[in-house]
Amino acid sequence: MKDIITSKTFDNGVICASEQSIIVERCIYDEVHRELEAQGAHFMSEAEAAKMAALLLRPNGTINPKVVGKTALYLSQMAGFCVPASTRVLIAEQTAFHPKNPLLSRKAVPGTWPVCRRGLEAACHRVVELLTNEGLGHTLVIHTRNQDVIRQFCLEKPVNRILINTPAALGGIGRDHQYHPRR
């Protein structure tokens, strides 16, 4: 989880390769949730997430330039809610996918929105939905030690760049991830 927080706080999420969504298998969700909080993530309430969604995009659907590169603390204040001063990243849990949801769009802010799935197959389906929503196949990062999962993602997902166990923003600008899949 440290890599995800590092990525989203590097340049306050401006690099488009940074994590836009986190997909977590149900079996490790509670552990991931606790670790993200320990690393400085604030899980927004539904009301806070609605305020953030209204702030992220302009009425024409483009990103609000006033939010780009701002800190999580500043964004929460702009949206009209308070978070602890130690907050580094804002997270809004999303259980369903909708292509027009501003929380699932590309964001140049230190925020990400996890989508919890029940198993690998469902998680894989959600990954494809997210990758094809805006700008087909930009970047995918996988945080796992399971070589079979890595191989499956590397060989089957519609994406141009796959990073393994590294902050996506840093890997997206050239940090080597040292993994080359074999068939």
Active site residue 124: no
Residue predicted with more confidence, 123 or 88? 88
Give CA torsion, residues 81, 72, 26, 54, to 10 deg: 50
Q: Among 12-16, 86-90, 135-139, where is mean pLDDT lowest?
A: 135-139
Task: Count other Cβ atoms within 10 Å, centred on residue 33.
Answer: 18
Q: Which residues contact 25 (CB under 8 A, 6 or more apart)?
A: 117, 118, 119, 120, 123
pLDDT, one tens digit per residue, over 94-127 is 776 766 676 666 677 777 766 666 777 887 877 7
What is this structure's pTM?
0.81
pLDDT of residue 40: 95
Domains of the chain: 1-173 (3.40.309.10)
pLDDT, one tens digit per residue, over 15-47 is 877 777 888 888 888 999 999 999 999 999 999
Choosing from 16, 27, 82, 154, which is the catalytic residue?
Answer: 16
